[in-house]
Amino acid sequence: MPEQVLKEAKKKMNLTLENLHNDFASVRSSRANPKMLDKVKVDYYGVMTPINQLATVSVPEGNQLYIKPYDKSMVGAVEKAIFAANLGITPVNDGEGVRLNFPKMTEETRKETVKEIHKLAEDAKVAIRNIRRDANSHFKKMEKNSEITEDDLHYYEDKIQEMTDDHTDKIDTVYEEKKEEIMKI
């Protein structure tokens, strides 16, 4: 039973880390990245559909994305969805697809973006610590119900702390890598 709690906690911590990766991928850096559009949904005949499911997204130049819908009639809907997503970029409709030109980031924009990703990283750390707290409360209940000994309780608390430290270090590493990418000119 305590092993199951550890397993579940590790699964949740890994999921938190994966979510952070996804959040960071959608944050703008100095280059155009198709993952920035992952959260943009298009009204496709009444169903809100991610752009990558109804169009190809390519990077013709380092600071440009080109979205070419499989169905040409969806070009206008894609353009509207990008406007609605408030990405800070004006889409250009060329009849065949939608072109997004990303302006160079200023020093001020870079610093604001770093603050944004720092907040995302801190939120992920809080989630990791909450998972640790929940696991430790499970272990304490087990000890109180005489399912595990006091020594076992300390062992499992140490194990969950090791997992927490490991995942927190990974969050710091991912944050530093993204920060470096954003600040690179």
Mean pLDDT of the chain: 88
pLDDT-based confidence at residue 184 (cuts at 50, 70, 90): confident
SS (H, E, C) the chain: CHHHHHHHHHHHHHHHHHHHHHHHHCCCCCCCCHHHHCCCEEEECCEEEEHHHCEEEEEEECCEEEEEECCHHHHHHHHHHHHHHCCCCCEEECCCCEEEECCCCCHHHHHHHHHHHHHHHHHHHHHHHHHHHHHHHHHHHHHHCCCCCHHHHHHHHHHHHHHHHHHHHHHHHHHHHHHHHHHCC
Q: Where are the domains of the chain?
A: 2-25+106-183, 34-101
Check residue 45 and give left, alpha or beta (phi > 0: left; psi -120 to 50: alpha).
left
- pLDDT score of 30: 64
Between 174 and 25, the more confident residue is: 174
pLDDT-based confidence at residue 165 (cuts at 50, 70, 90): very high
pLDDT at 170 over 90: yes
- pLDDT score of 159: 95
Beta-carbon-side half-sphere exposure of residue 178 (alpha carbons within 13 Å): 27
pLDDT at 100 over 90: no
Least confident of 9-18, 22-31, 102-111: 22-31
- pLDDT score of 185: 65
Instruction: Note the CATH number of domain 34-101.
Output: 3.30.1360.40
Between 185 and 90, the more confident residue is: 90
pTM of the model: 0.76
Q: What is the pLDDT of residues 67-89, one digit of tens each?
A: 999 988 888 888 888 888 877 78
Look at the block and give the residue holding tokens 């939120």. 123
Instruction: Note the CATH number of domain 2-25+106-183.
Output: 1.10.132.20
